[in-house]
Amino acid sequence: MAFDHSAFYADVNRLYDRLEELHGLDAVLDGIDARGLDRLYIPPTNYTAGGPFNRVIELGQTYPFDKIIRAVDVETSGGGSYPNFTTPTTTTSPHDFGWVEEAYADASTWRLTAQSSLGSTFEPLLEVSSDRFQQVSYAIVDMYASMDTSLRDDWSGLANQTSEWEGRAADAFFRNFQGPMTDVIAGHKFALDYLNSLVCGLKVFNDAGQHSLHALVTECLDIVDDQLRKRQADNRDASDGEALVLLATLTGIGAALTFPLPGTAAALGATSAMLSYAASSVPPAMAEPVEITARSATQLDDALGSEIGELKRNVRAGFDSVDDKATEMDGYVDELKTPLAGSPANAWIPIRPDIAPGDDFYHESRNYS
């Protein structure tokens, strides 16, 4: 399936929903730990986990769970202390839990900044949709096919007239204009063929970059999901995942892209295959597995940003390799522009015909009239 911008952005939003949740959740868990609130008061009798000295706090949204924490700070009169006390409390002061709401608010603030920053990082990869390249390629192939079937250089047997006409202008016209026209048409078709391969090449790396990007986001979704599950199980260990990400340049993908050579058949016969390559996923030949490990929202966000930066470098390297092929095309076109041996004509632009009624262009019958 072609890269789906809507689905991608939906996944990015979902990822950052989860990261925000994890960020807030971990801040609350850290706060509980820092304040020693996980050290519960256990009265000798009438133990009720929920109170009056302890409370149940609901944590998590995706994988919700309850955690029992100490709700009050207790001063005891003589004997007894945490974790047990045998003397009824003399004073209690409810613990201030305002920091919990602050932790979630901080997580929201963090999320906005982090997601915005990541968007700035990946947006350049999404500027050009795949179908724009495809449309240009279709137009080139359509144009080539039209030229192939409609262009004629024999012009009703004009080539057979070369021996009938004499004079400097006639010789020049048939030798330097009519004759080389075959080469000019072939040269232009070759150039079109090559341009099509260049367009397909840019599309391949553009597509592979976009699919790699989505694969990274999907991988991070799996990781954050695992982290949230771990929290439910009171586990703060790291989670890891793997995604296939673009690595190769043109030399690494071999025959996937066909570039024509002068004098050979049209490479654009393989256009459909070239346009399909990397169109729906990153081909294994272009990619390598990338592992991400994280134990917190910030770690995962940092890792994702770092991998996207690497991905952008890889996409640029792919574009560089296509640019190298464009330079090769320059060389081929320069050869087409080079005059043919002993002639002012070349295979790129026909000479301006210099013929007019006159003594430089006459019929052979003048010789025997």
Partner 1 sequence: MTTDPHSPSYVPQYTGASGDYGSGTEFGGDLFALYTAGQLTIPATAGHYSAAASQLHWIVGTFQGIASDLGHSAGDHVVANMQDLSDAMRLTTDRLYVAGDALVEIADRYAQTDEGAAAEFGLLLDLPENAPMFENPPVTTPPPGPDDPIGPTPDLPQDNGELDDLIEEAGLEDELAEDEADQDSDDSGEDGS
Residues 33-72 close enough to bind partner 1 by CB under 8 A: none
Three-class secondary structure of residue 292 per DSSP: strand
- Which parts of 187-246 interact with partner 1 (CB under 8 A)? 188, 191-192, 194-195, 198-199, 202, 206
- Which parts of 132-151 interact with partner 1 (CB under 8 A)? 132-133, 135-136, 138-151
Smallest separation (angstroms) from partner 1 to the CB of 191: 5
Which of 93, 96, 98, 127 contacts partner 1 by CB under 8 A?
Answer: 127
The nearer residue to partner 1, 247 or 292, going by C-beta atoms, is 247
- How far, in Å, CA of 266 to CA of 38, rounded? 73
**Residue 364 engages partner 1 in binding (rule: CB under 8 A):** yes
Smallest separation (angstroms) from partner 1 to the CB of 329: 6
- How far, in Å, CA of 127 to CA of 63, rounded? 36
Number of residues that bind partner 1 (CB under 8 A): 82
Cis peptide upstream of residue 83 (ω within 30 degrees of 0): yes
The nearer residue to partner 1, 24 or 209, going by C-beta atoms, is 209
Do strands 165-166 and 362-363 pair parallel, antiparallel, or not at all (unpaired)?
Answer: antiparallel
The nearer residue to partner 1, 72 or 143, going by C-beta atoms, is 143
**Beta strands, E only, the chain:** 54-59, 65-70, 72-76, 89-94, 165-166, 239-246, 287-294, 362-363
The nearer residue to partner 1, 201 or 241, going by C-beta atoms, is 201
The nearer residue to partner 1, 130 or 239, going by C-beta atoms, is 130
What are the φ/ψ torsions at residue 131 (nearest 5 degrees)?
Answer: -65, -20
Tokens of 262: 């002068």
Residues 158-177: x/- map of binding to partner 1 (CB under 8 A)?
x-xx--xx-------x---x
Smallest separation (angstroms) from partner 1 to the CB of 302: 25
Which of 19, 27, 172, 184 contacts partner 1 by CB under 8 A?
Answer: 184
The nearer residue to partner 1, 74 or 336, going by C-beta atoms, is 336
The nearer residue to partner 1, 34 or 356, going by C-beta atoms, is 356
- How far, in Å, CA of 28 to CA of 99, rounded? 8
101, β-bridge pairs: none
Side chain identity at 254, as an amino acid letter? G
The nearer residue to partner 1, 52 or 353, going by C-beta atoms, is 353
Smallest separation (angstroms) from partner 1 to the CB of 284: 21
Contact 231, 32 (CB under 8 A): no
Which of 84, 86, 116, 155 contacts partner 1 by CB under 8 A?
Answer: 155
- Which parts of 245-274 interact with partner 1 (CB under 8 A)? 258, 264-272
Q: Residue 27 CA to chain centroid, in angstroms?
A: 33
Task: Give how far Cα 225 sits from Cα of 13, 15, 278, Å.
Answer: 14, 9, 28
246, β-bridge pairs: 287
The nearer residue to partner 1, 239 or 321, going by C-beta atoms, is 321
Smallest separation (angstroms) from partner 1 to the CB of 138: 5
Residues 310-339: x/- map of binding to partner 1 (CB under 8 A)?
------x--xx-xx--xx-xx--x------
Mutual angle of helices 181-232 and 297-337, in 10-degree steps:
170
Task: Give how far Cα 62 sits from Cα of 20, 22, 177, Å.
Answer: 11, 10, 76
For residue 300, with 0-12 CB atoms within 10 Å meaning exposed, 13-18 middle and 19 or more buried, which class applies? buried
